Chain A
């Protein structure tokens, strides 16, 4: 059974204002799937529909066999805007622990998990700081740690590295990749960066411009152990990124 199944998903902002035309795909357990598409192609709308934050207009989304009507259990999300997703009145540890409090995790276990996931993102020593005391990259690490501590079956990431600098971005990409290999949860990673989509994914879903459809699903057969320099130089990587880029460029303009 696929972990996530999206079937004929359709979303309209208002009558005749179609953001998502028809999207169908399934996610297999433990896979890392990147979704890439031109800006404004409804990637965030898609992710929010899957997360149960937006009621979609037509189609079906089911997570672990259960239809998604509201926010499903076992799903975590990392938002693009880390500064607005972390709560500035709570210290780092409290931010990471908060979701666990309402899943019946006792205090000692909450502290242990928060500590563990902060260690995993390299911020074990920042538990006592406030989010705004950290750099942007570190804040996004905290958001990732919070999602990890939640121990989700599926993790959604909505352009999580779009607002950090290039060096931090590479570091965070490797961090996410490593976390995925270690913990093996299913990942759905939305980005507009083709290199990032190919570098991280086991597969890449290419979306068309709005109203969006899945243009193609591309399997990424790169070795699991990837490297920012050598992997991106390899002929396989270059081929894949060229293919994705030409698909995105070729996607027909929406018929309005």
Chain B
């Protein structure tokens, strides 16, 4: 066994070389389904024009027209600053607030049985409320401005973070905490160097789910009494039956969502390299 471990670097090299040669193949396979789907849509739309389902080419053209047609060197149109930027700023703001609140509160609840017993019934009630159902209440209490939308996003996306943090912190190994005590780690070090890293795999999983929830609530919060945002732009376009603009908004949100998720997955992989490594070694 020790022989296999000491030579663990060798197979890694071999794997890397193999991956390099097949990487183009993998990319081609992965791209095939979306390409076929888009092609079918394009052909169907061209063959039988439908007002509600414009061809992908028209959607792409509209995306270009709406947001990228300012010409060199600006490229981005004023609509980007007016709609796209505020939307995603609110989304990331709400998500960040949810992350701060969820992780801090989750750690307290996860470590204290009394606090857990006091708060858990309330948490499980509140998290069962679908965020969109609360939109009217948030509107009445917080008005129509940015604070209302950010709050709604934060409220809806806090639950996966909170629950995962509670779970993660609760599952921290007893021996790890006893080790920290034996070696006289002050409580802050116990929190930041032991508990937080130990719970990090769960916390990051929660943050990832929350990112999707935040994206959803960003759109929902902009569908009523909004003055800007991608959701507002979709809503306005649909009232005017500008279907290619509606679809352009939908596709733009999907693409930015995809990019955010990928960036997050990348950051997660970096942060949890130890965790993946440990799991691989356990096999």
Task: Give me the interface of A with B, judged by CB distance under 8 Å.
Answer: 48, 51-53, 71, 73, 75-77, 79, 81, 84-85, 87-89, 98-99, 101-103, 130, 132-135, 146, 150
Contact = CB atoms under 8 A, between A and B. Distances in A.
B29 interface: no
Contacts of A132: 274, 277-278, 281-282
Contact of A85 (B176, B197, B282): B176
Contacts of B8: 133
Given A84-B175, A85-B176, A88-B274, A98 B183 contact: yes
Interface of B: 1-2, 5, 8, 173, 175-176, 178-179, 181-186, 189, 193-194, 197-198, 200, 274-275, 277-278, 281-282
Given A87-B194, A99-B185, A133 B281 contact: yes
Contacts of A84: 173, 175-176
Contact of B278 (A76, A88, A99, A146): A88
A77 B179 CA distance: 8
A102 B186 CA distance: 7
B181 A130 contact: no
Given A98-B193, A130-B274, A133-B5, A51 B182 contact: yes
B268 to A, nearest CB: 14
A133 B277 contact: yes
Given A53-B178, A89-B274, A102 B185 contact: yes
Nearest to B177: A53
A24 B210 CA distance: 56
Contact of B277 (A101, A130, A134, A146): A130
Nearest to B6: A135
Contacts of B197: 87, 89
Nearest to B179: A85
7 contacts: A77-B179, A77-B182, A84-B173, A87-B176, A88-B274, A89-B274, A99-B183
Contacts of B179: 77, 79, 85, 87
B54 to A, nearest CB: 50
A42 to B, nearest CB: 17
Nearest to B184: A102
A102 B182 CA distance: 12
Nearest to B189: A102
Contacts of B176: 84-85, 87
Given A77-B182, A84-B176, A87-B197, 17 more contacts: A53-B178, A53-B181, A53-B182, A76-B183, A81-B175, A85-B176, A89-B197, A89-B198, A98-B193, A99-B184, A99-B185, A102-B184, A102-B189, A103-B184, A130-B278, A132-B278, A135-B5
A85 B189 CA distance: 16
A85 B183 CA distance: 11
A134 to B, nearest CB: 7
Contact of A135 (B1, B181, B198, B277): B1
Query: Closest 9 CB pairs between A and B?
Result: A99-B183, A84-B175, A132-B278, A89-B197, A89-B274, A77-B182, A84-B173, A132-B281, A85-B179
Residue among B173, B182, B200, B274 with the highest chain A CB neighbour number at 10 A: B182
A76 B198 CA distance: 22
Contacts of A89: 197-198, 200, 274-275
Contacts of B274: 88-89, 130, 132
Residue among A48, A77, A88, A101 with the highest chain B CB neighbour number at 10 A: A88
Contacts of A146: 183
Nearest to A79: B175
A134 B181 CA distance: 25
A135 B5 CA distance: 8
A213 B277 CA distance: 45
Contacts of A77: 179, 182
A73 B182 contact: no
Contacts of B173: 84
